[in-house]
Amino acid sequence: MKSRLLESVAVVVAIALSACSSSQVPRDESAGAGGSPSSGGGAAEGGAAASGAGAGATTSSGGAKSTGGTNGGGTGITPGAGNGGSIGSGGTTSAGAGGTNDAGGESNAGTRNGGNGGAGATMGMGATAGSGGTDGGAATGAGGTLEGGANAGAGMGGSGPRPKVTAAPGTTLVKVDTSVRHQSFEGWGTSLCWWANKVGGWSPEARNAVVDAVVNPTTGLGYTIFRYNIGGGENPSHEHMGEFREMPGFSPSQGVWDWDADANQRAILRRIVETGENVILEAFSNSPPYWMTKSGCASGSADGSNNLKDDAYDDFADYLTEVVAHYRDTYGIVFRTLEPLNEPNANWWKSNGSQEGCHFSPSNQERIIREVAAKLAQKGLTETTVSAADENSMDDAYNNMRGFSAETFAAIGQINVHSYAGSKRAEVRELATSKGKRLWQSESGPLGQNINGDIEAALFMAGRIIQDLRELQPEAWLDWQVADPSRSWASLWLDDAAQTFMPLKRFYMHAGFSRFIRPGAVFVDVDHRDMVAALSADSRTVTIVVRNGDTMASKGFTFDLTALPSVGTAVQVHRTSRTENLAPLDPIPIQNFSFVATLPAFSVTTFVVALQ
């Protein structure tokens, strides 16, 4: 299920629109520890120590772990106060340009005749800003900026003429346009195997705390989409899969059912359903039960070829749909989609492997898709449709699925693809659109990357998310899993013996996206390759995520908001960096439908602008 463009910093800017405005709108496939498959090499075992006030020392797998970092007084997963500068007295601009100034300084107030005040003076990190200078006798709004920050002035709206926005000195001009719409967004999520197989065995109180960190939209990740793994079940005489990767199956032999199996993962699933908001569920398979396979092994065939017995397609479809029916009838849990495949074109699914897996050639993919769809219909499971094909490579997904017959596409309700490998994001998007199918990026992670520490893992994944959202344009984006033995694959670090967890830098990075771009949002245009922008479901906020690819230097941007129907007066700020964990910073003012922000190297910053 897996598959570093690091060089990036994510910045989230949520821009509030006026209430009266018009609506505008991976993981591990190898025998090695950690979250990478055999196809691309393992992710680094070592990582930076727990996110906290400092960068944290690195620790190898199994080494000592910090007990939860703090940041500006914050503890655990609650953001700390952060290190940002305050807004105080500051300089104003001359001729609208605004002088720059290092931390703690202020520029001379300038005046000019006519029009509105120019861009407020920019400040270095930690600088203060305050009242602006005059402009033809009219006082400007609050001037100066935070960290190279935003223009002074009040928010604005209406249908009158918009000012021409030019880039402040030393910044790049970026325009956000809510009239250009892209994909509607269903939300963020993760699969449950294998972390749920571990955490589900903890005490109810301990496992519920982990679930809350995943589903809570205020203090957690706010995930709403979850993929439940229907285990095939391995031959009981085999002992070769990794710990917690050997998922229990429900049919240990032909004609025998064990509905008590998989208690751990089921405990997590049921808690998610009880406490999550508007949860969407998918069931997926990595392998048929071992007794349906040619090799007698649920990790694959001897040579990585098709492993499902030629006469067992109907049996496998019956197995998967019986599990779906059982969960509906026994627990009231409805899976919206059922995926019988996982990276089926890959050739690394071989017997005696570290996890379940099964190769299916394209023609055999079509066969099992149609068999499963027929069984769903036969059993009256009308609320569940088939998803496919969860290829590791987007290129494989496009090249194989475009050859599927009309009959096969009629049996598919949703296209799933992993973004570990390949470059055909736009082609997969076009295929899904042309076939009228919903598209999910259903699994990703730092497959085959040499990740050096927690912050690097966070920034690599921020870049992956942005590229996927811009080019693949999926309706949902899912992580492989929120916890993993390899830190670079994890948002939460688990201590199984103590039944405790600790959020890592990836947790705060993901939260910088997922707490602010919520289900129902629509992605809109922003003309920079390292950014995404999304309009909220209620058309009251726009979120902009910016990726800074420089590991050492900051980058400045002037954000042109003239294509928005209205904006508020100030931007609320949160940031994750080497020393901050989604820490709240001081607000940045907006003037003339624009603001300026300097983005520190290696950071994820969230800006929320209050309504007028």
586-606 confidence digits (pLDDT tens) = 888 888 899 999 999 999 888
Indicate whether 438 belongs to any domain: yes
Cα separation, 522 vs 115, whole angstroms: 35
Quote the domain boundaries for residue 287.
Answer: 186-443
Assess contact for 52 and 71: CB atoms under 8 A.
Answer: yes
pLDDT range class, residue 155, cuts 50, 70, 90: low
Decide: helix, strand or coil at residue 235. Answer: coil
Coil, strand or helix at 171:
coil
CATH number of 288's domain: 3.20.20.80
Q: Is residue 82 included in any domain, yes or no?
A: no
Beta carbons of 81 and 73 less than 8 angstroms apart = yes
Residue 264: HSE in the Cβ half-sphere, 13 Å Cα cutoff: 20
Residues of the chain above pLDDT 90, percent? 63
Q: What is the dihedral of CA 108, 114, 118, 120, to 10 degrees?
A: 40
325's tokens: 């029916």
Residue 585: count other Cβ atoms within 10 Å of its Cβ: 25
* Structure tokens given for 359: 């190769």
Tokens coding 461: 């994944």
One-letter amino acid for residue 287 of the chain: S
Task: Look at residue 419 and tell me if it is in a domain.
Answer: yes
pLDDT tens-digit readout, 526-555:
999 999 899 999 999 889 988 887 899 999
Higher pLDDT, 227 or 82: 227
Let me know if residue 577 belongs to a domain: no
Whole-model pTM above 0.75?
Answer: yes
Residue 83 has pLDDT above 60, yes or no: no
pLDDT of residue 545: 85
Total number of domains in the chain: 1
| Per-residue pLDDT at 158 | 63
The CA-CA-CA angle for residues 125, 131, 136, to 5°, reads 125
Considering only CA atoms, which of 222, 487, 246, 267 is closest in space to residue 357? Answer: 246
Measure the CA–CA gap between 224 and 205, rounded to whole angstroms: 21
Q: How confident is the model at residue 571 (pLDDT cuts 50, 70, 90)?
A: confident
Q: Distance (Å, rounded) from C-alpha 174 to C-alpha 12? A: 14
CB 600 within 8 A of CB 200: no
What is the rounded CA–CA span in Å between residue 586 and residue 86? 6
Name the residue with higher pLDDT: 507 or 81: 507
Integer Rg of the chain from CA: 25
Which one, of 504, 540, 505, lies nearest residue 521 by Cα?
A: 540
Is residue 195 a part of any domain in this protein? yes
CB 209 within 8 A of CB 501: yes
CA distance 405 to 528: 38
Asked if pLDDT for residue 492 goes beyond 90, the answer is yes
Q: Give ∠ CA 411-416-417 in degrees, rounded to 5.
A: 140
What are the φ and ψ backbone dihedral angles of 555, each rounded to 5 degrees? -135, 140
Rounded-to-integer distance, Cα 498 and Cα 221, Å:
23
Q: Each residue of 317-354: pLDDT tens digit?
A: 999 999 999 999 999 999 999 999 999 999 999 999 98
Angle at CA of residue 296, ends 295 and 298, nearest 5°:
95
Domain assignment of residue 549, yes or no: no
Start-end of H helices in 132-262: 195-199, 204-215
- Tell me if 215 is assigned to some domain: yes
Name the pLDDT band for 485 (thresholds 50, 70, 90).
very high
Distances (CA, A) of 68 to 79, 200, 223, 253, 510: 12, 21, 21, 45, 17
Tokens, residue 459: 């920034």
Instruction: Confirm whether 194 is domain-assigned.
Output: yes
Average pLDDT of the chain to the nearest whole number: 80
293-302: pLDDT as tens digits: 999 999 999 9
C-alpha distances (whole Å) from 435 to each of 399, 431, 553 are 15, 6, 44
